[in-house]
């Protein structure tokens, strides 16, 4: 069976989504977060659709090198920081800004023979409790780096753990302000996607939009009715490769997970968990679009196939286009069915799946 799974990337949607972000935080510079291969959308698509950003934030030096080798001369933030001496060599070679979140990184920088100065984002643990210095150690580290001849600019960076909660954000901002007042109110970079939309007081000098650039609201915001205007950038599609007419009182697929009480028409789609579609979705009720008609998946997702109910769309034929998520089938609905997040779904697409950047 030739593979029909395909990812379409809408570059115009990337441009539009970035412009919406700018409207929400017109006074802030923007780090477009493109870690994990631009959340599965590819670095090449990010360069094409997000080139009007102030800078790019990546998690790996290889991603930064790709940007430089493909013409990006603007700021690049290494959002996870460096881990070994060879990383520092490349930081200077490719003129990167780096996050520092731990004491051992400062000690490594002190020992390194720096060819010139470097810009640093010092991470404050204001409540996420993942990376960063607590408020007392942060002030000590800040003063040490501020006095270092190896550092050109310092920015306070923090991350919100529960950013759709006004109370939680307020608690973290209180700690951030307490620290900021002791370091002469230095430049700050705080807001992630949710904070950009809900908490304008967190916008500060730089913001860090991630998932909203790709046209998806953060998972916890599904309950909100407000329309932000973001467009889905990624469409996962495939083709209908077989049609089966089954009698009543018949099972479909592995494990007898679907039982047909009446005569049914089902379709076979050449896409499965090997392509990146989630295996553990609900056995029925998960939406899918077949030739423009909304229907549902039935039975178990297979390695490279899945089954759909064709009763609502009797006019389909072999070769009909299927949208598994995209403009019409929201990826958050698929994530909910699979008890996961849209972040994971986008990042777990098999690299062998063809990508078309449009």
Tens digits of per-residue pLDDT, 247-280?
877 778 787 777 677 778 999 999 999 999 999 9
Q: What are 182's two structure tokens?
A: 């002791």
Please report the pLDDT score of residue 76 as a whole number: 98
Query: What does the alpha-carbon distance between residue 29 and residue 189 come to, in Å, rounded to a whole number?
Result: 9
Residue 5 lies in a domain: no
| Alpha-carbon distances, residue 111 vs 88, 320, 324, 358 (angstroms) | 11, 62, 52, 47
Please report the pLDDT score of residue 1 as a whole number: 42
Average pLDDT value for residue range 193-197: 94
CATH number, domain containing residue 117: 3.20.20.10
31 and 90 inside one domain? yes
Average pLDDT value for residue range 192-219: 94
Residue 319 lies in a domain: yes
Q: What are 85's two structure tokens?
A: 């001496």
The answer on pLDDT for 225 being more than 60 is: no
Place of tokens 């007042």: 181
Residue 222 lies in a domain: no
Contact 89, 61 (CB under 8 A): no
Which residue among 254, 256, 339, 352 is the active-site one? 254
Domain extent at residue 66: 11-214
173 and 209 inside one domain? yes
49 and 83 inside one domain? yes
The answer on pLDDT for 221 being more than 80 is: no
Residue 36 lies in a domain: yes
**H helix intervals, 166-297:** 166-180, 193-198
Residue 219 lies in a domain: no
CATH number, domain containing residue 280: 2.40.37.10
| Alpha-carbon distances, residue 26 vs 4, 48, 55, 200 (angstroms) | 42, 22, 15, 10
Which residue among 35, 95, 182, 348 is the active-site one? 35
191 and 279 inside one domain? no
253 and 210 inside one domain? no
Please report the pLDDT score of residue 264 as a whole number: 87
28 and 154 inside one domain? yes
The answer on pLDDT for 119 being more than 80 is: yes
Identify the three-state secondary structure at position 239. Answer: strand
Residue-wise pLDDT tens digits, 127-178 = 999 999 999 999 999 999 999 999 999 999 999 999 989 999 999 999 999 9
Please report the pLDDT score of residue 223 as a whole number: 45
186 and 243 inside one domain? no
- The per-residue DSSP string of 141-191 comes to HHHHHHT-TTEEEEEEE---SSTT-HHHHHHHHHHHHHHHTTTTS--EE--
Q: Is 3 annotated as a binding residue?
A: no
Q: pLDDT class for 111, splitting at 50, 70, 90?
A: very high
123 and 203 inside one domain? yes
Q: 143-147, 202-206, 242-246: lowest mean pLDDT where?
A: 242-246
- In the chain, the percentage of residues whose pLDDT exceeds 70 is 97
Place of tokens 């049914």: 264
Please report the pLDDT score of residue 259 as a whole number: 66
The answer on pLDDT for 33 being more than 70 is: yes
Residue 28 lies in a domain: yes
Nearest to 64 by CA among 106, 98, 108: 98
Active site residue 135: no
The answer on pLDDT for 21 being more than 80 is: yes
Residue 1 lies in a domain: no
Q: Considering its fold, how many domains does the chain have in total?
A: 2
Active site residue 35: yes
Residue-wise pLDDT tens digits, 38-80 = 999 999 999 999 999 999 999 999 999 999 999 999 999 999 9
Q: pLDDT class for 4, splitting at 50, 70, 90?
A: confident
Q: Is 303 annotated as a binding residue?
A: yes
Residue-wise pLDDT tens digits, 282-332 = 767 899 999 999 999 998 999 999 999 999 998 999 999 999 999 999 999
């Amino acid at each position: 069976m030739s593979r029909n799974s395909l990812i379409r990337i809408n570059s115009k949607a990337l441009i539009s989504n970035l412009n919406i972000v700018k409207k929400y935080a017109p006074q802030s510079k923007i780090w477009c977060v493109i870690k994990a291969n631009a959340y599965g959308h590819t670095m090449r698509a990010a360069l094409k659709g997000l080139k009007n950003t102030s800078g790019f934030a990546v998690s790996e030096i290889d991603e930064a090198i790709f940007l430089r080798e493909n013409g990006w001369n603007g700021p690049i933030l290494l959002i996870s920081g460096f881990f070994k001496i060879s990383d520092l060599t490349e930081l200077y070679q490719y003129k990167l800004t780096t996050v520092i979140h731990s004491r051992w990184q400062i000690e490594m920088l002190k020992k390194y023979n720096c060819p010139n100065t470097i810009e640093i984002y010092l991470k404050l643990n204001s409540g996420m409790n993942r990376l960063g210095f607590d408020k007392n150690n942060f002030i000590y580290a800040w003063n040490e780096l501020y006095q270092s001849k190896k550092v050109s600019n310092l920015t306070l960076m923090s991350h919100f753990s529960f950013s759709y909660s006004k109370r939680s954000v307020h608690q973290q901002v209180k700690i951030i302000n307490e620290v900021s007042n002791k370091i002469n109110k230095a430049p700050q970079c705080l807001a992630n996607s949710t904070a950009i939309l809900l908490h304008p007081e967190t916008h500060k000098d730089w913001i860090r939009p991630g998932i909203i650039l790709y046209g998806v609201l953060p998972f916890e915001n599904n309950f909100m009715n407000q329309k932000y205007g973001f467009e889905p950038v990624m469409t996962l599609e495939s083709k209908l490769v077989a049609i089966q007419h089954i009698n009543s009182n018949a099972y479909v697929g592995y494990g007898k997970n679907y039982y047909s009480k009446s005569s049914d028409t089902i379709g076979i789609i050449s896409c499965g968990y090997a392509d990146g579609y989630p295996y553990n979705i609900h056995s029925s009720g998960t939406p899918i679009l077949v030739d423009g008609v909304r229907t549902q998946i039935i039975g178990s997702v297979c390695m490279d196939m899945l089954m759909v109910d064709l009763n609502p769309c009797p006019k389909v034929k072999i070769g009909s286009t299927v949208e598994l998520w995209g403009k019409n089938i929201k990826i958050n609905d698929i994530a909910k069915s699979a008890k996961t997040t849209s972040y994971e779904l986008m990042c777990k697409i098999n690299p062998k799946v063809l990508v078309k950047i449009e």
